Structure 1
């Protein structure tokens, strides 16, 4: 671990998707970057994720889109189904001329580890990126021109001109800088995982063969399905609100509740439940939007800045947009602190709007009774080429778009 001051170095804390993307963007902007990750080895947990055209645009800006596409799937449609009746509600055609004209970049679905691996390989190949694992940041000290990072595992101090905190939902640096406590639990929980497509039969096999993203919407619950890794695996995520949530207990969102909440769903949904991984449940958290992402020479990025619920499938996409905007600002400003301020100013409003929009879409997806009947009727008349409601999310801001 280097401990001497270096006015040209940016330190990135966190080796997830956002941290690696930030390090890569800064290196491509000409800075020497040191990234520190607390785990002993780089890796990513989870299953599939969706990369809307704003995310694939950001991947192009980072120079890794082609690498991600080698294993990703380009679904033809995004379909919303009624989880109780099994009837189609609405769909979007993701390969139509209208889609291509409006968005230019593909809608991709991929395994989280495949995206992480592509970003990690690009960072390892870049001569201006240095990676360290097994280093847990305890605190940061700032003076007028530098930031000093301290670690649990060593007395060495990493000194940098500026720091990007990409240390996730439970960011230590955010807690120290902002002091806004713990993330807010939504009372919803997810069970997610993948299985080989060859194990599927019946309706599941037909859905997998179609390569569509299937969203089964129901009262206070939903199921999402789509293929990943060249179609070799099928990703499934079951989400539901727990009736037994208490903030001081971990005994909620159990397998028994999963089965109970999905009682009464259609055969296609019920057939999927036995094939879910039950090894881990994922409570779903977010926070209220922040007014300030930059504190002196430390900037927040990704989930450390704007953790959001998954209902717009934008968690990874917004972290990637952050990284591209950061790289663009670092190219424009000779002063690193000025670049951080510009990055945050350009990104804050859009990320906040998507944070709050995710809440609203979750409410639409999970509405009950007459509300669900009205939702289905209103969405049922939409054309598969009507992207007006989602285009504000899928269209990246100019500062995150690849330079022509």
Structure 2
């Protein structure tokens, strides 16, 4: 495909979102240069959940088989009460679910997805540059000029600001800061045989409880166990600037079931991740630069859609640009406005719903009892609460068409 031949695009940031945009645009013939500040490409963290709204895009880009070969297709999403370990509800991820949403729900190591995107972007012709930190982007006429930390300046038709939660480019549009949730995440991956599980784990299991939750699922074809412990930091509640620490981990789960408490010994304690998002904003555009990915809409992880939103951004932008091409030029200001108009409401809904979902998971007392009863009695054959999330497709959304069932 060469719909965008002649278009010059710079991507600032080489995470999952940056690599995805480089791939999507290079596939359509654009001249793409990606600048990444790290000395080499890589993703820290562990497991990642990708819903059908993401797997459909990976199939379109031709890298689904490569990614899924290193992942796992769980059978169910399972919610348990963290205090009693009771199964509250399940989401069956089998044939009916896959047919409804036109894709699968899978889990994969972050680094496996990222490396597949980086390799595919290079194969598609994108130029990926390490040790290159973008410090500023300025629009002059029909060009955007990118300044790197070494003082060099590079020009393009459009620039994608994809430098993450702590974006240095976002302040050009908004005077805001990341918002601390008060919750901190500890992670850990171990060989499955070391986990001591009573039965084979084939699901994504979430134990939800007062002020904490705990996630388990298999990785790398079931050979690894991925675990995530998330809890409210007492240091945050005390107003301390540095919050979340290994000393807080075990006491945070004192009220939980032994199944959860016994698994905590496998968590990494030399690093942890205080959980931040940002308040939703409607405008992501400054001249010929658009913020995308976590620079525009960093979510809390409760809807497991942070990485997928970045994939959706990439598909949406590349589709709009290719469709808008007129001769050898594209109307980039209009393309950016169209992408912003479509993507902001969806991403902002995920941000706000994610915050609400986190509150729901962590209820105590009567709130916990009411939530558990709602989960136990929900209609498991109904998709009315999830179609908006998993059924979204930017091309269909533009055409006003529904996902076929």
TM-score (norm 2): 0.92
Aligned residue number for residue 148 of structure 1: 145
Comparing 258-267 and 177-186, the one that deviates more:
177-186
Query: Distance in 2 between the 1:94 and 1:53 partners?
Result: 10
Q: How many residues align?
A: 390
Aligned residue number for residue 112 of structure 2: 114
Query: Distance in 2 between the 1:38 and 1:361 partners?
Result: 34
Shift of 1:7: 6.7
Comparing 7-16 and 303-312, the one that deviates more:
7-16
Comparing 381-390 and 358-367, the one that deviates more:
381-390
Asked whether the 8 Å contact 1:226–1:235 carries over to 2, the reply is: yes
Asked whether the 8 Å contact 2:9–2:32 carries over to 1, the reply is: yes
Shift of 1:64: 1.7
Aligned residue number for residue 291 of structure 1: 282
**Is 2:6 the partner of 1:18?**
no
Aligned residue number for residue 133 of structure 2: 136
**SS at the partner of 1:230?**
helix
Shift of 1:247: 6.2
Aligned residue number for residue 71 of structure 1: 70
Shift of 1:147: 1.0
**Is 2:363 the partner of 1:363?**
no
> What pairs with 1:5-404 in structure 2 (closer than 5 Å)?
8-97=7-96, 99-127=97-125, 129-152=126-149, 154-175=150-171, 177-203=172-198, 206=199, 209-245=200-236, 249-250=241-242, 252-333=243-324, 334-399=330-395
Asked whether the 8 Å contact 1:57–1:396 carries over to 2, the reply is: no
Query: Distance in 1 between the 2:154 and 2:197 partners?
Result: 56
Moved over 4 A (4+): none
Query: Distance in 2 between the 1:355 and 1:61 partners?
Result: 26
> Cα deviations across residues 58-109 of structure 1 (Å, max 9, x unaligned)?
2223322121111110000000000001111100110142x13311200010
Comparing 59-68 and 229-238, the one that deviates more:
59-68
Shift of 1:400: 7.3
Asked whether the 8 Å contact 1:61–1:324 carries over to 2, the reply is: no
Cα pair distance change 1:187/1:220, threshold 3 Å: same
Asked whether the 8 Å contact 1:93–1:385 carries over to 2, the reply is: no
Asked whether the 8 Å contact 2:188–2:266 carries over to 1, the reply is: no
**Which structure has the higher relative contact order (CA within 8 Å, separation 6+)?**
1
- The gaps in structure 2 that reach 5 residues or longer are 325-329
- The gaps in structure 1 that reach 5 residues or longer are 1-5
Query: Distance in 2 between the 1:256 and 1:28 partners?
Result: 48
Query: Distance in 2 between the 1:271 and 1:200 partners?
Result: 10
Cα pair distance change 1:400/1:196, threshold 3 Å: farther
Shift of 1:237: 0.5
Query: Distance in 2 between the 1:7 and 1:340 partners?
Result: 18
Aligned residue number for residue 3 of structure 1: none
RMSD of the TM alignment (CA)? 1.9
Asked whether the 8 Å contact 2:312–2:394 carries over to 1, the reply is: no
Query: Distance in 2 between the 1:77 and 1:378 partners?
Result: 19
> Cα deviations across residues 216-236 of structure 1 (Å, max 9, x unaligned)?
000010001101111111111
Query: Distance in 1 between the 2:153 and 2:123 partners?
Result: 25
